[in-house]
Amino acid sequence: MQRRLIALFCLALALILVGGCASPHYLEADPRVGGDLPRNGNGEEVTVNVVDDRESEVLGTRSGAANASATVTVYAHELVPKLQEQAELAVQRMGFSPTREAAEGRPSLTLTLKRLGYGRGASQPMLGSARLEAVFLAKAVNGRQTYTGTYTSRRDQSYVIRPGEEANTEMVNEVLSNALDRAFRDQELGRLLAR
């Protein structure tokens, strides 16, 4: 009787673990621009727009297999307002006055999320690996001058047990935040907006 209970308990535990590994993750990313930013502005208004130009809201699968059901998803309608808020705060910290309204002759900055990916990394025996990547394209326009930069952040994470939703959210926030930091620390971006 006791052996049956132990076997039943082990079976139930295995089903819970396998079921948890196969479940999709819907992440609520909340990236932040941190640290010191170059201060080029003197209160000039800059139109700031954020665009999500990803091919899909699905970043990938937790297993790395193309047809797996354990997808990792970040919805654009949740992410774009947070990116817009961070972009405006960063532009303000750079010494400008951010606005969402376009006006002729006003400098503008468009920040486009080109890629946010979650895939299988290069793993070692007995370990799995996840590879995350965020890519932003920033386009600053001031008069007839344009400056474009691409900013990428990657993270490879080894694991024994696949990361849960909370760990995946932290990793996605990290790659998004690092890519944002790289964009707003670009001295040329601020210089062009200040001309």
143-193 confidence digits (pLDDT tens): 999 999 999 999 998 888 888 999 999 999 999 999 999 999 999 999 999
Most confident option among 7-11, 32-36, 93-97, 159-163? 93-97
Percent of the chain predicted with pLDDT > 90: 71
Q: Please tell me the predicted confidence (pLDDT) of residue 195.
A: 85
Q: Please tell me the predicted confidence (pLDDT) of residue 16.
A: 42
**175/180 Cα distance (integer angstroms):** 9
33-53 confidence digits (pLDDT tens): 998 999 999 999 999 999 999
Buried b (16+ CB within 10 A) or exposed e, 21-41: eeeebebebebbbeeebbebb
Q: Cβ(139)–Cβ(147) under 8 Å?
A: yes
Listed in order, strand segments (DSSP E) in the chain are 25-26, 45-52, 58-61, 71-73, 97-99, 108-120, 128-142, 145-159
**CATH 3.30.160 applies to domain 2-194:** yes
Radius of gyration of the chain (CA): 21
